[in-house]
């Protein structure tokens, strides 16, 4: 069996997986920086830089795993987990600072939970659904929305934050619908 088929503990030490673990461990720093800037709605240059570093590491760890041939089951599990920790944590911090409304953040949260539960169930049935382009676009748009929310020059530009978060919600819901459609079709085909 290849390491893509099993959870080999040694795979946790692969460089790409260490970067992903680092993203999970460093995400609370982003949350603290957003919350520490609550007087400005969470806008912060420091949070912007940390968020971009975490976002860049998301791209880099995947690229590293693919180009080095070190794709692993741990990486396939940890990478979306790291995305959810960072995105959802930052979103809820912005709700706390009143930069974002809880409604779009709750929609994003529910979608992420439902898709995660469904993917786990499908995996137990032997059905693997690779990330679609719409899911990658969803993660990108969520990152753009958080960038708009955290950017100090946009502190008083509420329409830009509203537009960005609702676009992210639309793409998030669409990509979730695609996962469920694919899962249903895959379950019927198997």
Which residues have a Cβ under 8 Å from the Cβ of 37 and sit 6 or more positions away? 43, 44, 47, 97
Overall domain count for the chain = 1
Under DSSP, the state recorded for 153 is G
In a domain, 35, yes or no: yes
CA–CA dist 32, 23 (Å, integer): 15
Neighbours of 53 (CB within 10 A): 16
Neighbours of 96 (CB within 10 A): 15
In a domain, 4, yes or no: no
Residue found by looking up tokens 């537009």 in the block: 163
CA–CA dist 28, 118 (Å, integer): 27
In a domain, 50, yes or no: yes
In a domain, 1, yes or no: no
pLDDT mean by block of 10 residues, the chain; 190 residues: 64 90 97 92 92 93 89 87 96 96 98 91 79 89 96 93 98 94 64
In a domain, 22, yes or no: yes
- Integer angstrom CA distances of residue 80 from 44, 66, 86, 121, 182: 25, 16, 10, 16, 18
Angle 133-150/158-189 helices, nearest 10 degrees?
A: 160
Which residues have a Cβ under 8 Å from the Cβ of 23 and sit 6 or more positions away? 54, 57, 58, 61, 82, 85, 86
CATH number at residue 156: 1.20.120.1760
In a domain, 52, yes or no: yes
In a domain, 3, yes or no: no
Query: What pLDDT shows up at residue 53?
Result: 96
Domain residues for the domain of 171 are 9-189
Give Dmax (Cα) for the chain: 55
Closest among 187, 74, 188, 76 to 121, alpha carbons compared:
187
In a domain, 49, yes or no: yes
Query: What pLDDT shows up at residue 190?
Result: 44
């Amino acid at each position: 069996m290849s390491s893509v088929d099993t959870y080999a503990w040694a795979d946790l030490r692969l460089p790409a997986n260490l970067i992903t673990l680092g993203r999970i461990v460093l995400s609370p720093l982003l949350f603290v920086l957003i919350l520490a800037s609550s007087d400005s709605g969470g806008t912060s240059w420091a949070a912007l830089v940390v968020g971009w570093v975490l976002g860049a590491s998301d791209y880099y760890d995947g690229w590293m795993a693919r180009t080095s041939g070190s794709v692993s089951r741990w990486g396939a599990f940890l990478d979306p987990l790291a995305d959810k920790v960072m995105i959802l944590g930052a979103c809820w911090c912005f709700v706390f600072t009143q930069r974002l409304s809880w409604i779009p953040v709750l929609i994003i949260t529910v979608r992420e939970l439902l898709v995660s539960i469904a993917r786990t169930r499908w995996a137990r049935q032997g059905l693997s659904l690779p990330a679609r382009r719409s899911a990658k676009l969803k993660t990108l748009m969520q990152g753009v929305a958080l960038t708009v929310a955290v950017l100090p020059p946009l502190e008083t530009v509420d329409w830009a934050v509203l537009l960005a978060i609702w676009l992210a919600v639309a793409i998030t819901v669409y990509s979730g619908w695609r996962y469920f459609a694919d899962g249903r079709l895959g379950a019927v085909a198997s």
